[in-house]
Structure 1
């Protein structure tokens, strides 16, 4: 057995027989994985999967294996397993350059590196900057004793350029040069200070108390000092004015309305309704091809007490959103449900947006509605976030940038390990944060969003 085969990570492939299974098998072997199991999930025994002990399980998703995955869930939830899901229909169609690119991404996950470029185009590792100022030459011996510097000066004394002011004697013996401690011992001692208290200097004499009133003070006397100018202006005290009387109608109007210059008058009921609507935000995850794995990794990194509702908007062929709900419920501690029109959004829940369901903002907060209400436009910018993952629709990038221009937080998945980074890369080019799904989840947790 070669060293490469010995170090290859064991991989279990769960897929029904067919073109998708053959393509995934070829990709695992080309990526350097050791294929220890190749079986149909419908007939696989969970005990057999545990006995093999693979490091990664690659699952080809299709409707026919959903029930089998439910049965294998206890074995797939093992902490040492790394799960990777791929749609069987996409895997069967993948050929040529597309298949090679997917194989490189699979190899990066198997071996734990970020190099996904073709051979010969690898990026050279750049040195990472370190915090703080660079070390200066005079700091290298900052803690050295003084004798070190004296000895160093003696060694380099012949290298110092000479001048005409001082010419050393020709018969100077370098061995007779005294050290700093010897020179300090030969120095005369400092005279002792005189004993007795130190008195302050005498003040100038005070003005004669018998001097006539109005007489000029003697030169140097502090009697001429003043903190207030004699000719300073004194403002007259304002005359009290009586407040205009208001009748009962005006008092009642002021109690029922609050006026703001330039904004008109709003009733207290309207202000409370707008405050309640602005108090709720949400996180919108936009994904597409290759998105199930990215969404799974991000949701799996969120804590069970995450306060905001999370919306997952991802187009699926055939509208199998119920299956997506079951897949995401396995990886996140948060409740996962399918969004339905008329339902109010609740914090700490994950909602999968199906076709024909959007989001609107009402007095009570955010609520699901029909498809004529895009989710991104309904989110309050100061309390919400938009994250574009693999396969997100590039046509939504202008709306996301406009959302960020109004103060919202927008981020995207980085290109490393991202199957379709087109939309997310446009956000990174515009200067917005980018990173793997786990990093984006950490940013969402750290930010309070109002």
Structure 2
């Protein structure tokens, strides 16, 4: 397989998204120009910003639809990043739309902006719905800020994001009622109906239909729960026709174990063994209530799984050889990748102390069977070598793996560790598209 072929999946997916967005920006701008200017320049600007906001809202839906083709090529980390930045653009467009509309009509009527907003809400169809949509999107935006996200459980954060769909419906009905480019042209109406239909259809397919179909087809159940250490447990799952489940080593699922008190809890866990068509295995550390209670799950428990998700797979391997770096329980997708990745492999396993190295025995056996090199680096998170360099900094990476720039590097671990590793790799001249460091962020 050539280098060009190996880089194509991610490049084509990213380029495809940009082309789709750019083409629709062009169409929306043309529809705006065709509708003509408004009575006040501020209102004209507000209309254009409102149209761009509607387009960005539809694009947001596409990014969170969890469509397999996009997810396998870009991964949730990149889709989440695009979702976040698009969200910032959406908020600014909506804020500008509201401000320019209010001040534009206030200037025409000779009243103050607050009084004009009240008048518009009372007299113009769809304005109240638009205000409600803006308030909901602002609420979701605040909940998605980093300071708030760290304090929210995944289920709470996910529930808050469901309000986005209500905001979409309210915004679209507002556009139908008063949008100049919508009500003034048959082509514009067809375009907007198609755009929103495709966006909502993608969400329905990726978030509802596909998970329901896969779970109905595969009938997943727990077969065994095996403690790996005092605070780490592996869960073995089997089902029907698992050889037809498109899961790859390095990917993860969002798991729900359908028992009393747990069915509502959704937890993202990576596969800790490459799928063999017969069973799946996840391995989790007790970091919260959800993962801590896994050891109490009984064999035979039904499982509802969403996925597989993630681009942390050999699909993106460019070089003949690889370096796998794991920190703590981040060893789970790395251990699965070791079964699947090609070429000569070096594995670096970073832990606070030797006893924290879960799955070490089978990792060592697997490395031995395929001729891979395994290094276990133990020490506290802030540990440095005799030269004062981080254990996974550029100097030590170059010492452990002398041809590191000629390997694909897959990194999974705590964010501080991952940041140190990526920085070190960049200092050593490893190409950006050879570094794969998915953090398994979830776009809701």
TM-score between both structures, scaled by the size of structure 2: 0.29
Greater relative contact order (Cα 8 A, min sep 6): structure 1 or 2? 2
Q: Which has the larger radius of gyration?
A: 1
- Which one has the bigger helix percentage? 2
